[in-house]
Amino acid sequence: MAKAEHNNVTLGMVRDSLIRQEDTIVYSLIERARFPLNPPTYDPSYASIPGFGGSLLEFFVKQTEAVQAKAGRYDNPEEHPFFPDNLPPSLVPHYKYPEVLHPAAMSININKLIWDMYFNKLLPSFVSPGDDGNYALTAARDLECLQAISRRIHYGKLVAEVKFRDERKDYEPAIRAQIYSDKFVDVYKR
Amino acid sequence: MAKAEHNNVTLGMVRDSLIRQEDTIVYSLIERARFPLNPPTYDPSYASIPGFGGSLLEFFVKQTEAVQAKAGRYDNPEEHPFFPDNLPPSLVPHYKYPEVLHPAAMSININKLIWDMYFNKLLPSFVSPGDDGNYALTAARDLECLQAISRRIHYGKLVAEVKFRDERKDYEPAIRAQIYSDKFVDVYKR
């Protein structure tokens, strides 16, 4: 396959990043599995935080994302918040990340689906039952898992874009005609 | 060696925890090494955050520790903040962690030394030079490293306590006389 370069992003770089990101997911799952399920982390009636109706987990994720937004995390188009509404603006100078994606792609955020999959299916499958009281640490580990999985899944947008640009003449007519050929679908399966 | 139990903490459990904690340190260093040094993270003149004179890193660590304190992280005697002054109180119900340590041990926090060691010696030894703009992610990874190293080092207090209780008759006279025998020193070397 020909080496494609788009604003310095090549398929080889994309592939290396995907492999590294999978390591990150594995590490984050191992770190979460050091703690038992710790159900009070997810129980709104446990936390009873003044002025906040949700669980400790939701409180932790919203507050942590606010800190990270102020520090500029979501200026990077590869990062997607789980609670994008009412995030504070970045307080640091804007860094000019390479513009790889089509502007429409920037608005895609499927973190709601990822959140539901993680808490309803993935988490119960790999942690042991039990409660050791480390709810703040548990929430921090959950957020690490969520962020690693989210980055990897949304990175698919970049994979698709780089593959599209490599064979624009094949994909473009199909996209314009909204024909989902096997080849086009394959871009999203990568 | 006889199995010691002190509020359910045995030497075997301590040893298992130490091994697990070392894995966590290795993972966190690998994750930090995915980013280059990213010097603006540490440069107070870069951040210029309104009402905050320090670097992005300091801003990030202080704000994140505040969120984690509200979520109850520092109720666990194994957790030590890097900026303990003016931390907000926990907003969640207090969890009764096992009381293993002597009250005097609870006040020991050598995170200032760990911070200096990490940024002056360890970090420059394993990251590549360069700047990819991911300063918020870099700060998040630094904090993960710091917290993992801090937990492991301060866990030495628990190791010493459990070993002491196992052979109290040997250690106690020396401690009272403030004699630092080879055996006593060995407790701190573990």
Q: What is the mean pLDDT of residues A58-77?
A: 97
Compute the distance between CA of residue A44 and CA of residue B136 in angstroms, rounded to an integer: 29
Cα–Cα nearest to A149, from A120, A110, A106: A110
Query: Are B68 and A30 within 8 A, CB to CB?
Result: no
Q: What is the pLDDT of residue A1?
A: 37
Q: Smallest Cβ distance to A73: which of B59, B63, B136?
A: B136
Q: What is the pLDDT of residue A174?
A: 82
- Indicate the domain borders of chain A: 3-189
Question: If you measure CA to CA, which chain B residue comes closest to A89?
Answer: B49
Whether the pLDDT of residue A103 is over 90: the answer is: no
Compute the distance between CA of residue B122 and CA of residue A99 in angstroms, rounded to an integer: 34
Q: In chain B, which residues touch A (CB < 8 A)?
A: 20, 23-24, 27, 30-31, 34, 46-50, 56, 59-60, 63-64, 67-68, 70-73, 76, 79, 91-93, 95-97, 133-137, 139-140, 144
pLDDT-based confidence at residue A74 (cuts at 50, 70, 90):
very high
Q: Check: CB of residue A40 under 8 Å from CB of residue A24.
A: no
> What is the ipTM for the molecules in this complex?
0.86
Q: What is the pTM of this model?
A: 0.88
Average per-residue pLDDT for chain B: 89
Compute the distance between CA of residue A29 and CA of residue B21 in angstroms, rounded to an integer: 15
Least confident residue range of A1-10, A65-74, B132-141, B154-163: A1-10
Q: What is the mean pLDDT of residues B146-168?
A: 92
Question: If you measure CA to CA, which chain A residue comes closest to B78?
Answer: A134
Query: Are A59 and B46 within 8 A, CB to CB?
Result: no
Which CATH topology does B3-189 take?
Answer: Chorismate Mutase, subunit A (1.10.590)
- pLDDT one-digit tens code per residue, B89-128: 999 999 988 888 888 888 899 999 999 999 999 999 999 9
**Local structure of B10: helix, strand or coil:** strand
Compute the distance between CA of residue A55 and CA of residue B65 in angstroms, rounded to an integer: 19
Question: If you measure CA to CA, which chain B residue comes closest to A56?
Answer: B71
pLDDT-based confidence at residue A23 (cuts at 50, 70, 90):
very high
Q: Smallest Cβ distance to B134: which of A59, A76, A144?
A: A76
Cα–Cα nearest to A69, from A103, A92, A48, A52: A92
